[in-house]
Amino acid sequence: MAKSKKSLVSLKKSLKELNAIVNKAGKNLGVVKSLLKNAEKATKS
């Protein structure tokens, strides 16, 4: 029982870290998307 609880805690920790990475990636993706949009506008005009 103690072992499964420990693994559950570490799983939650891993999920938190993964979530942070995903959020960071999402922000970076937003930046990339806006850069692409700006590049598109620049090449069209």
Q: pLDDT tens for residues 5-39? A: 999 999 999 999 999 999 999 999 999 999 999 99
Residue 15 confidence (pLDDT): 97
Q: Which amino acid is at 8?
A: L
Overall pTM > 0.85: no
Nearest alpha-carbon partner for 13 in 27, 21, 26: 21
Residue 4 confidence (pLDDT): 87
Q: How far is CA 39 from each of CA 9, 32, 44, rounded to the nearest angstrom?
A: 45, 10, 9
The DSSP output letter for 7 is H
